[in-house]
A and B are shown apart, each in its own frame.
Chain A
Amino acid sequence: ETGVTQTPRHLVMGMTNKKSLKCEQHLGHNAMYWYKQSAKKPLELMFVYSLEERVENNSVPSRFSPECPNSSHLFLHLHTLQPEDSALYLCASSPMAGASQETQYFGPGTRLLVL
């Protein structure tokens, strides 16, 4: 395994629900990322955190709200989602986001279905 864990692995929610996705990395990295992976589309970067500060918000709707309480944990809070938000949500980490050449290590993802 990569040292990045995500929970839950599967989630079904209604459009009025509020839920949270959790990511934890055990690699001692300082940067964490949220990606969205939809069918037959490239991975889409959503958010980047470096040393617990958000450094990139890739024009993501406000119904997605990230939180990074420390460098090992990352959350994605979800509320009033739409069916088109159904996708695989992947968390990744890297040693430091400020470096321009860094490998990102991914978790297994949370498969989200919005009804």
Chain B
Amino acid sequence: GESVGLHLPTLSVQEGDNSIINCAYSNSASDYFIWYKQESGKGPQFIIDIRSNMDKRQGQRVTVLLNKTVKHLSLQIAATQPGDSAVYFCAEGGTSYGKLTFGQGTILTVHP
């Protein structure tokens, strides 16, 4: 999960396994959540989003789950591939003019 500190959380999986990346968000009034993927040398890339009136949303190989009761967000990646190796960020928004608040990120490493 996300944490504040000097070290990013890390997740190491084997190719073909499913991955679950967690995020604890801070503002109970947030009503929009996004997952981004950032590969080395690139900017964050949009993966999937979810609004607070939903608790689950599926994309291609990815699923986002939202638990508003405990302010928890997760990203599930099915059949993880080496190309999925990156830093994954959650972001929360909806409470302020165009403002997204980002988590610190989780490093996902996929071993062939």
Residues of A that sit less than 8 Å from B by CB: 2, 4, 6, 31, 33, 40-43, 45, 48, 50, 55-56, 90, 92, 94, 97-109
Say yes or no: A100-B43 contact (C-beta < 8 A), given A40-B6, A56-B99: no
Candidates A41, A100, A106, A107; contact of B93 at CB < 8 Å: A100
- Supply 29 A–B pairs (Cβ within 8 Å), ascending by A: A2-B45, A4-B43, A40-B8, A42-B101, A42-B104, A43-B91, A43-B102, A45-B99, A48-B97, A50-B97, A56-B97, A56-B98, A56-B99, A90-B43, A97-B97, A97-B98, A98-B97, A99-B98, A100-B32, A100-B93, A100-B94, A100-B95, A100-B97, A103-B46, A103-B49, A106-B36, A106-B44, A107-B43, A108-B41
Minimum distance in angstroms from B18 CB to a CB of chain A: 25
Q: Which residues of A contact B36 (CB under 8 A)?
A: 106
**Additional A-B contact list (12), CB under 8 Å, known A40-B104, A97-B97:** A31-B98, A42-B101, A42-B102, A42-B104, A42-B105, A55-B97, A55-B98, A101-B94, A102-B32, A103-B46, A107-B43, A108-B42
| In the complex, B34 has a CB within 8 A of chain A | yes
Closest CB pairs A-B (n = 5): A97-B98, A106-B43, A101-B32, A43-B102, A100-B94
Q: Which residues of B contact A109 (CB under 8 A)?
A: 42-43
Say yes or no: A98-B93 contact (C-beta < 8 A), given A105-B46, A106-B44, A107-B43: no
Check B34 against A103 for contact (C-beta < 8 Å). yes
Check A48 against B98 for contact (C-beta < 8 Å). yes
